[in-house]
Amino acid sequence: MAAITQVKPITDVPSLLSASAAPQDPKFYQDPYAFYARQHASHPAFFWEEYGHWCFADFKSVSALLRDKRFGRDILHVASREEIGLPGPKPHVADFDLTEKFSLLNLEAPAHTRLRTLVNRAFVSRQVEQLRPRIRQLAHEIIDGFEGAESVDLIKAFAAPIPAIVIAEMIGLPAEMAPQLLNWSNRMVTMYMYNVTHETELDANQAAADFTAYLRDVIAERRKAPREDLLTHMLTTDRDGDVLSEDEVISTAILLLNAGHEATVHTTGNGVKSILDSGLDPQSLFATPEQAERTVEECLRFDAPLHLFTRYSLMDTDVDGIALRKGDVIGLMLGAANRDPARFAHADRFDPFRTDGAHVSFGAGIHFCIGAPLARIELQESMRVLFERLPTLRIVETPRYGDVYHFHGLERLMVGWR
């Protein structure tokens, strides 16, 4: 999720291969797909002027580059800051940077391999399958709480609490902490937005400091009284004498909490909107486990929760005739790749019955989302219960997407059912 900055200006870009779209322009973030369609029709590999780096919008390139070992989320394991002109750390975001230092999202092999191996067991499919009953229970309890109302903001009332509670309980934090965890997480992820202000940085850093302090207290308790939870597992797991440091445990817990709900919240909101806009019978889309799976995969493809993921070029190299220097940034446009007409039939149509529904919303390669199995189950179960309980659900106010590109999610989704 974290933003990567192009540190050396790129010059001599042919105007034909250059494109402009302001990430904070409401016309853009309300409907980025119009821009993506133009690039698909002209140059899916292009220089994005506002970001100052090359981007790739076609499915084939994005899928391949996510796996390409010439590119990585980190650069300082193969180059010094001086070599590539990377500015030094900002003192006023030191607490935030500490949470990122050991983040699975940013590490490269062998550090990434080591850390992922030590935490991966909790997220394999056979483990998270056991959470289906708990997710269904939560969905019912939450709907019980608002069913008597005339209308509700589905993002705040339903989409946000379920994944926050589930990931908190997995890690070993009390469900009643979910609102505070959401507050810290929402403030921290603003750091990944385009053109972040100094005030935003200060607030995100304070959230990171408070989040870290809370986890240090919980870790101290776990060391005294271990439990059957992921936090205890991370503190005690030992692979041939290799154990995680406290800072590694904190970075991983924060990443899992932040990433473990943010994308699922967006996909729930975007997915419910897509289903209701389609005119299809929502209940039929979750009538069987197989159809529920296809529906969720199409929600993830059609209106993805994350639209841009960046990589550093780890060496001087070339991609489709584009010369890249060591340290250059490339943008991999997940949302655009998922709508590539060269890959998907009727790419701009929501079709939960399609058979060509592969997508890159969870990434690929070594950074493929560790929580993908959990997210899929949360989406399948929560939306199935939602449409079972509220079969007449309808949108009662025009939805608007939040100004959080390259995240892509609704600010709110007002729905009624009477």
Closest of 395, 418, 381 to residue 137, by C-alpha: 381
DSSP 53: E
Residue 157 Ramachandran class (φ > 0 left, ψ -120 to 50 alpha, else beta): alpha
For 171, the token pair is 């890690």
For residue 399, is the peptide bond before it cis, meaning its omega torsion is within 30 degrees of 0? no
Q: d(Cα 155, Cα 370) in Å, to the nearest integer?
A: 24
Strand (E) or helix (H) holding 215: helix 198-224
C-beta of residue 383 within 8 angstroms of C-beta of residue 361: no
Closest of 317, 344, 336 to residue 19, by C-alpha: 336
Weakest-pLDDT range from 208-212, 287-291, 400-404: 400-404
Per-residue confidence (pLDDT) for residue 204, from 0 to 100: 94
Q: Indicate the average pLDDT of the chain.
A: 91
Residue 15 has pLDDT above 80, yes or no: no
Per-residue confidence (pLDDT) for residue 144, from 0 to 100: 97
- Range 226-255 average pLDDT: 87
Weakest-pLDDT range from 50-64, 152-166, 233-247: 233-247
Per-residue confidence (pLDDT) for residue 137, from 0 to 100: 97
Give the confidence band of 92 by pLDDT, cuts at 50, 70, 90. Answer: very high
DSSP symbols for 116-177: HHHHGGGGSHHHHGGGHHHHHHHHHHHHHHHTTSSEEEHIIIIITHHHHHHHHHHHT--GGG
Per-residue confidence (pLDDT) for residue 1, from 0 to 100: 41
Q: Tokens 């039929």 identify what position? A: 284
Per-residue confidence (pLDDT) for residue 122, from 0 to 100: 73
Give the confidence band of 14 by pLDDT, cuts at 50, 70, 90. Answer: low
- Range 174-186 average pLDDT: 90
List the end-to-end C-alpha distance of the chain, in Å, as a whole number: 39
Residue 7 has pLDDT above 60, yes or no: no
Q: pLDDT higher for 237 or 161?
A: 161
Weakest-pLDDT range from 14-28, 159-173, 311-325, 365-379: 14-28
Catalogue all structural domains in the chain, each as residue range(s) with its CATH number: 15-416 (1.10.630.10)
Q: What does the longest C-alpha to C-alpha distance in the chain come to? A: 63
pLDDT per position as a tens digit, 54-63: 999 999 999 9
Burial of 89 by CB count in 10 Å (0-12 exposed, 13-18 middle, 19+ buried)? exposed
Per-residue confidence (pLDDT) for residue 6, from 0 to 100: 52
C-beta of residue 269 within 8 angstroms of C-beta of residue 395: no
Select the highest-mean-pLDDT range: 241-250, 292-301, 369-378. 292-301
* Phi, psi values for residue 225, rounded to 5°: -140, 85
Residue 258 has pLDDT above 90, yes or no: no
Give the confidence band of 2 by pLDDT, cuts at 50, 70, 90. Answer: very low
Give the confidence band of 123 by pLDDT, cuts at 50, 70, 90. Answer: confident
C-beta of residue 344 within 8 angstroms of C-beta of residue 236: no
